[in-house]
Amino acid sequence: MDFRFTPEEEAFRDEIREFLRKELPPNWEEMFDVETAEGSDAQWDFALQFQRKLAKRRWLALAWPPEYGGMGAPIMHQVIFNEEMAYNRAPLAFNMGVAWVGPALMIYGTDWQKQRFLPAIASGEEIWCTLYSEPGAGSDLASLQTRAVLEGDEWVINGQKIWTTYAHRADWGYLAARTDPDAPKHKGISVFLVPMKAPGITVQPLINMAGQHGFNQVFFDNVRIPKDYLVGEVNRGWYQVAVALDFERSSISGVARSQRLWEDLIGFARQERWLTSNRPQVRLRLAEIGVEIEVGKYLSYRVASLQQAGKIPNYEASIAKLYSSELGQRLARTGMQLLGLYGQLHSRSPWTRLKGRIERYYLTSVAETIGGGTSEVQRNVIATRGLGLPRG
């Protein structure tokens, strides 16, 4: 196995870095106070403008076929792009349409759905959210109860979703709903494309422990959508959701973000030598985190190599997701250990260190082992599908 990137791939990485130097202010996050509605709206507008610059270069969906707005680039080019965007803290975290909705549509969508939705995703014109989790169906997602009933040429949807990231910003939702309540729970689910401004949809905010509005709960009250907004086969949606989740879990972005924050910590520890001079345990943890980042990076590259070979990763994606999310939490704890009481300070504090990133990341990293499938779910996937062990 050759762990080196090709000269062409390295040249593409340099091109991305040059673009970011020109188009992304180094401290762009500090321009907005996202704990206020005005600051959050301003940051969102900035992110949309930035994404459209990427879309003009056809970079948002690099590996997609040109007819859908991509460049037909190799998967490794997409990996390099994702890695550089995450490392440089570019505003792309909400791009679910490119990350997994689009790839799922390429597999299961009709020709009309592909032609209608994929170019709009690749151009950054339409933003998507994922409508999976419910108050009684999180890790056990197949227990979902939101109903979709076919009446003539329309599906009528009733129910509730929760923890829907950016539902208040999205134009479209990728919805999993029950279409056969009498079937076994894994075999009565279908997937739909839902316009988020449709009559009967109500979005209510959920503020996380870091004071940010990213999550929402969404209510469906007799929401009607056209019959052809069904994706794939009726009652086969569980398998489509599983494939989409594999795309979600396979990204290099989490490891790249960890590497950037780890480098920030290393740089700060070199400047403030008193933080580690008499604390060998902290020095050792920082060294261990560096090793773990390298491991996480190559786990993600493994997933990409499978995709490059035309395969759909399954347990391999769960390994990468599990390791990356738990690595993020270990890094956050190590940052707190290094900074001590300084690590608890909000970015607004005049005594804060590293611009308050440790305090923010320590709070937001809690969700990393929950969103996209909990660590327990990932371990079950690895055990049953990777190791062939019987279900408990």
User: Under a CB-based contact definition with an 8 Å cutoff, are residues 7 and 76 in contact?
Assistant: no
Q: Where are the domains of the chain?
A: 7-93, 129-235, 249-386
- The arrangement of secondary structure in 7-93, i.e. its CATH architecture, is Orthogonal Bundle (1.10)
Residue 248 designated active-site: yes
The CA angle 192-163-253, to the nearest 5 degrees, is 90
Domain covering 249-386 in this structure, CATH number: 1.20.140.10
Q: What is each CA distance from 376 to 154, 218, 315, 318, 381, in whole angstroms?
A: 38, 26, 13, 10, 9
In terms of Cβ atoms closer than 10 Å to its own Cβ (0-12, 13-18, 19+), residue 291 is exposed
Tokens of 79: 């990996």
Local confidence pLDDT in tens for the 392 residues of the chain:
567 899 999 999 999 999 999 999 988 888 888 778 888 899 999 999 999 999 999 999 998 999 999 999 998 998 999 999 999 999 875 678 988 899 899 999 999 999 999 999 999 999 999 999 999 998 888 999 999 999 999 999 999 999 999 999 999 999 999 999 999 989 999 999 999 999 999 999 999 888 888 899 999 999 999 999 999 999 999 988 877 766 655 568 899 999 999 999 999 999 999 889 889 999 999 999 999 999 999 999 998 888 888 887 889 989 999 999 999 999 999 999 999 999 999 888 999 999 999 999 999 999 899 887 899 999 999 999 999 999 87
User: Under a CB-based contact definition with an 8 Å cutoff, are residues 92 and 51 in contact?
Assistant: yes
Answer yes or no: same fold for 7-93 and 249-386. Answer: no
Class (C level, CATH) for 129-235 = mainly beta
Give the active site residue among 83, 248, 359, 368.
248
Q: How many residues does the chain have?
A: 392
Longest CA span, the chain: 73
Tokens of 351: 């005594």
The pTM is what?
0.88
